[in-house]
Amino acid sequence: MELTAASELSLRELSTLFARSFEGYFVTIPDAPLLFDARVRGEHISLADSRVARVEGVPVGLVLMARRGRVSRVAGMGIVPAYRHRKLGGAMLSPLMEEARARGDTRMLLEVIEQNTPAVKLYERLGFQRVRRLVGFVGTPTPEPAELEEVEPVDCARLLPEGLPWQLAPATVAGLALPARAFRLGPAVAVLGDVSAPTLVVRAIAVEPEARGKGAGRRLLRALAAAYPGKSLAVSAIVPEGLCDRFFLGAGFNPSQLTQLEFALGPW
């Protein structure tokens, strides 16, 4: 097996390889170049630092590496079905861990679906330590029409605290672009994923400090349900357990079945 820079492939080729590498996974990864491009830009993925795994020249896996400051993140690692169970995962990631140390990164982060036992064991074997459990929610709030103002994702990012997981961090939310869209209702702001999708994914939601605890966030969720009738709302498993449980459960959501574990390697 050899590793080559992901930047050597086209966006179309990377999108297809990414989808193939996650066939049969816990969540469906579509082969959609525009969505792949949005992921790359929104999560600060460096294609120059990401790697394609090749066997006899044929791409068989992909490791996406995100970088922000002196912190790296494994934004996705997968292997096409025919080459799984050959112990390629460790061989793919170990060189990237060494590259991160060599360039002076202080930490490497990743998230893994908790129910994905083989992957959890792999990361633990490589020295990653569990940081916290991440949870998600799904529900259909009672629709309550209201006049929503479309704003920029950065308006939500400004209200988020530091110390959140990578996908929920202010820097990530601020960088989200179409098809993500942001809406404000009074002091509350939410960022949605692709609103044309069957389910509305709430990428982030925040309320101005002086208005917190007064129902503004839940009113915004009800207004979004009214604006997009017939669609359920979902929050991916990127929220630290215990941080927003009362808020979402009180808004009529249920915990999602899949959870994630956030892992960290370092500081070095």
| pTM: predicted TM-score of the whole model, two decimal places | 0.94
Determine if the peptide bond prior to 198 is cis (ω within 30°): no
Closest CA to 234 of 223, 243, 221: 221
Q: Which pLDDT band holds residue 121 (cuts at 50, 70, 90)? A: very high
Rounded CA separation 195/148 (Å): 14
Task: For residue 233, give the 3-state DSSP assignment.
Answer: strand
**CB proximity list for 25: less than 8 A, separation 6 or greater:** 78
Structure confidence at residue 1 (pLDDT):
95
Determine if the peptide bond prior to 255 is cis (ω within 30°): no
Give the largest CA-CA distance in the chain: 60
Task: For residue 196, give the 3-state DSSP assignment.
Answer: coil
95: tokens are 């060189």
How crowded is the C-beta side of 113, counted as CA atoms within 13 Å?
Answer: 14
Query: What would the pLDDT profile of 101-117 be if each residue is shown by its tens digit?
Result: 999 999 999 999 999 99
Whether 211 shows a pLDDT value over 90: the answer reads yes
Task: Classify residue 89 by its DSSP letter.
Answer: H
Query: What would the pLDDT profile of 212-259 be if each residue is shown by its tens digit?
Result: 999 999 999 999 999 999 999 999 999 999 999 999 999 999 999 999
**Domain 137-259 is classified in which CATH homologous superfamily?**
Gcn5-related N-acetyltransferase (GNAT) (3.40.630.30)
Structure confidence at residue 101 (pLDDT):
96
Query: What would the pLDDT profile of 180-200 be if each residue is shown by its tens digit?
Result: 999 999 999 999 999 999 999
How crowded is the C-beta side of 233, counted as CA atoms within 13 Å?
Answer: 29
Task: For residue 74, give the 3-state DSSP assignment.
Answer: strand
Whether 203 shows a pLDDT value over 90: the answer reads yes
94: tokens are 């170990």
User: What percentage of the chain has pLDDT greater than the value 70?
Assistant: 100
Q: Which pLDDT band holds residue 268 (cuts at 50, 70, 90)? A: confident
Query: What would the pLDDT profile of 63-107 be if each residue is shown by its tens digit?
Result: 999 999 999 999 999 999 999 999 999 999 999 999 999 999 999
Structure confidence at residue 238 (pLDDT):
98
212: tokens are 């917190």
Rounded CA separation 54/1 (Å): 6
For the chain, give every domain's residue range: 2-105, 137-259
* Cα-based torsion angle of the residue sequence 135, 139, 142, 144 in order, rounded to the nearest 10 degrees: 70
Q: Which pLDDT band holds residue 124 (cuts at 50, 70, 90)? A: very high
How much is the average pLDDT of 18-40?
A: 94
Rounded CA separation 134/151 (Å): 27
Task: For residue 260, give the 3-state DSSP assignment.
Answer: strand
Look up the CATH architecture of domain 2-105: 3-Layer(aba) Sandwich (3.40)
Question: Are domains 2-105 and 137-259 of this chain identical in fold?
Answer: yes
Rounded CA separation 176/181 (Å): 8
